[in-house]
Amino acid sequence: MKRMFFTLLTVVGLMATSVYAEVATQTNVTKLYIATFDRAPDSAGLDYWVVSSGLSLEGIAQSFFDQDETKTKYPDGYTTEEFIASIYTNLFKRSADTAGSAYWTAELESGNISNSVFILAVVNGAQADDATILENKTEVGLAFAAKGLNDTDLAKSVVADVTASSDTVTSALNIIAVSTATATYADTDFEATDWTDATHSKNVDPNFDEVFDDTQVKRLDIVVTAERWQSMLDDMTATYGAFGGTSTSIPTDAGMPNGGGMPPMDGEMPKNAGMPMDTTTTTLIDSDEDPIFVPADIYYNDKQWYRAGIRFKGNSSLQSSWEAGILKLSLKLDFNEFENEYPQIDNQRFYGFKKFSLKNNYDDSSFLREKVAADVFKQAGMVVSHTAFYRLYVDHGNGAEYFGLYTLVEEVDGTVLDTQFTSDDGNLYKPEDGSTNFVAGTFSEDDFTKKTNEDDADWSDIESLFSILHDSSRTSDASSWRNSLEAVFDVDTFLKYLAVNGIIQNWDTYGRMTHNYYLYNNPDTATLTWIPWDNNEALQEGKMGGSLALDFSDLESSSWPLIAKIYADDVYKAKYDSYMQEVKENVFNATDMQNLYETYSQLVEPYATIERDGYTYLNNSSAFAQAIAELKTHVTTRETAVESYLAQ
Q: What is the pLDDT of residues 118-145, one digit of tens each?
A: 999 999 999 999 999 999 999 999 999 9
Angstrom distance (rounded) from CA 460 to CA 463: 5
Measured at the CA of 347, the angle between CA 341 and CA 353, to 5 degrees, comes to: 125
Angstrom distance (rounded) from CA 478 to CA 571: 9
Taking residue 11's Cβ as centre, other Cβ atoms within 10 Å add up to 18
Beta carbons of 19 and 11 less than 8 angstroms apart: no
Which residue, 149, 142, 171, 168, is CA-closest to 31?
142
Rg of the chain over CA atoms, in angstroms?
29
For residue 288, the model assigns a pLDDT of 63
Q: Strands of 269-321 (E only): list them.
A: 294-300, 303-312
Measured at the CA of 456, the angle between CA 450 and CA 460, to 5 degrees, comes to: 75
Domains of the chain, residue spans:
2-184, 198-244+254-420, 428-586
Burial readout 407-422 (b: 16 or more C-beta within 10 A, e: otherwise): bbbbbbbbbbbbebbe
Q: What is the pLDDT of residues 499-511, one digit of tens each?
A: 999 999 999 999 9
For residue 316, the model assigns a pLDDT of 84
Angstrom distance (rounded) from CA 315 to CA 294: 19
Beta carbons of 298 and 390 less than 8 angstroms apart: no
Q: What is the pLDDT of residues 289-337, one digit of tens each?
A: 789 999 999 999 999 999 999 999 988 889 999 999 999 999 999 999 9
Give the pLDDT band (50/70/90) at residue 241: confident
Q: What is the pLDDT of residues 601-630, one digit of tens each?
A: 999 999 999 999 999 999 888 999 999 999
Q: Strands of 432-554 (E only): list them.
A: 448-450, 517-522, 527-532
The burial of 351, by beta-carbon neighbours within 10 Å (0-12 exposed, 13-18 middle, 19 or more buried), is given as buried
Mean pLDDT of the chain, nearest integer: 89
Instruction: Output the CA–CA distances (angstroms, integers) from residue 418 to 33, 360, 421, 426, in the order listed.
Output: 52, 26, 6, 11
Beta carbons of 488 and 465 less than 8 angstroms apart: yes
SS3 246: coil
**pLDDT exceeds 50 at position 536:** yes
Beta carbons of 159 and 172 less than 8 angstroms apart: yes
Comparing 29-33, 235-239, 535-539, which segment has the lowest mean pLDDT?
235-239
DSSP bridge pairs for 387: 409
Beta carbons of 448 and 429 less than 8 angstroms apart: yes
Beta carbons of 157 and 190 less than 8 angstroms apart: no
Residues 6 or more apart whose CB falls under 8 angstroms from that of 397 comprise 225, 226, 229
For residue 178, the model assigns a pLDDT of 72
Taking residue 322's Cβ as centre, other Cβ atoms within 10 Å add up to 23
DSSP bridge pairs for 530: 519
Mean pLDDT, residues 268-279 taken together: 36
Angstrom distance (rounded) from CA 610 to CA 144: 40
At residue 610, what are phi and psi to the nearest 5 degrees? -105, 10
Angstrom distance (rounded) from CA 500 to CA 37: 62
Measured in whole angstroms, the distance separating CA 581 from the mean position of its chain's CA atoms is 39
Give the pLDDT band (50/70/90) at residue 177: confident
Angstrom distance (rounded) from CA 226 to CA 397: 5
Half-sphere exposure of 74 toward its Cβ, with a 13 Å CA cutoff?
21
Beta carbons of 162 and 172 less than 8 angstroms apart: yes
DSSP string, 68-119: HHHHHHS-TT--HHHHHHHHHHHHHSSPPPHHHHHHHHHHHHTTSS-HHHHH
At residue 475, what are phi and psi to the nearest 5 degrees? -100, -25
Q: What is the pLDDT of residues 142-166, one digit of tens each?
A: 999 988 888 899 999 999 999 999 9
Containing 556, the helix (H) or strand (E) segment is none
**pLDDT exceeds 60 at position 77:** yes
Angstrom distance (rounded) from CA 168 to CA 454: 34
**pLDDT exceeds 90 at position 247:** no
Taking residue 554's Cβ as centre, other Cβ atoms within 10 Å add up to 12
The more confidently predicted of residues 179 and 52 is: 52
Residues 6 or more apart whose CB falls under 8 angstroms from that of 326 comprise 244, 270, 272, 273, 274, 614, 615, 616, 617
For residue 284, the model assigns a pLDDT of 63
Angstrom distance (rounded) from CA 396 to CA 226: 5
pTM: 0.73
Cα torsion angle, 436, 441, 443, 444, sign: negative
Beta carbons of 575 and 495 less than 8 angstroms apart: yes
